[in-house]
């Protein structure tokens, strides 16, 4: 089975957020799609291990922020590779409150949904929501999953529905970011920062041959 073909499916990159006990939580998602137009319904796939999964199940609402190509790497690093169990993800973000939820100012727009159904699919749940509010905030081009991988050289979190473990590609030394999983080939300069989550070289560890 050649899993490389899966990389030809089209995805976007989004922050999906909700609330748990008045705490704003969120995570990166790429599997978001419109299901119907009347009423407008949206489906999003969230890993059951994500704290946001629990929040959506309880709150019965979720908000999708559509990210642009020029999104700051801190947004990906925070929402994609850290957990709302441990930190307040929106605390250091530039956001505004709309429809009772924090919306990232960098977002192209947002979609708020009320939960109307959910489907259990092993490690993930597909949440289906009816759109109750949405707005376009700017005209920046949206970031696709292909752009994230090919241009920004981003990696998929292991909780992502599209995660596929990648093999080591060269004989050069490789260093992995312990925060977001980005792999750098070659030596790390002293002033190196992770292009995905922005941490310094001290947060990288060398990948050893097994």
Tell me the pLDDT tens digit for each residue of 123-162: 999 999 999 999 999 999 998 877 676 665 555 555 555 5
Q: Quick one: CATH architecture of 10-148?
A: Roll (2.30)
| The predicted structure's pLDDT at residue 196 | 73
For range 58-82, the mean pLDDT = 90
Query: What distance in Å separates the CA atoms of residue 40 and residue 59, rounded to the nearest whole number?
Result: 20
Residue 95 predicted with pLDDT over 90? yes
Closest to 13 in 3D by CA, of 61, 57, 77, 60 = 77
Q: Could you give the 3-state DSSP secondary structure of residue 123?
A: coil
CB 127 within 8 A of CB 44: yes
Percent helix, strand and coil across the chain, each rounded to 5? Answer: 20, 40, 40
CB 138 within 8 A of CB 110: no
- Cis preceding linkage at 110, omega within 30: no
Q: State which fold the 166-210 domain adopts.
A: Rubrerythrin, domain 2 (2.20.28)
For range 92-102, the mean pLDDT = 93
Domains of the chain, residue spans: 10-148, 166-210
pLDDT class of 182 with cuts at 50, 70, 90: confident
Do the domains 10-148 and 166-210 sit in the same CATH topology, yes or no? no
What global pTM score does this model have? 0.76
Q: For all residues of the chain together, what is the average pLDDT?
A: 85
């Amino acid at each position: 089975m050649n899993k490389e073909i899966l990389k030809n499916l089209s995805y976007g990159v989004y922050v999906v957020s909700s609330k748990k006990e008045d705490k704003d939580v969120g995570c990166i998602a790429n599997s978001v799609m419109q299901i119907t137009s009347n009423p407008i319904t949206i489906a999003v796939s969230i890993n059951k291990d994500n704290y946001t999964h629990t929040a959506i199940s309880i709150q019965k609402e979720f908000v999708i922020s559509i990210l642009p190509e020029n999104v700051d790497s801190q947004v990906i690093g925070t929402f994609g590779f850290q957990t709302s169990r441990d930190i307040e993800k929106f605390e250091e973000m530039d956001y505004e409150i709309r429809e009772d939820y924090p919306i990232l100012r960098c977002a192209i727009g947002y979609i708020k949904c009320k939960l109307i159904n959910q489907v259990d699919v092993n490690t993930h749940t597909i949440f289906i929501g009816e759109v109750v509010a949405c707005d376009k905030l700017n005209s920046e081009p949206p970031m696709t999953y292909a752009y994230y991988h090919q241009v920004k050289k981003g990696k998929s979190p292991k909780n992502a529905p599209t995660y596929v473990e990648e093999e080591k590609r060269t004989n050069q030394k490789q260093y992995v970011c312990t925060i977001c999983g980005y792999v750098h080939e070659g030596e790390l300069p002293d002033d190196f920062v992770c292009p995905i989550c922005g941490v310094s070289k001290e947060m990288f560890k060398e990948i050893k041959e097994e």
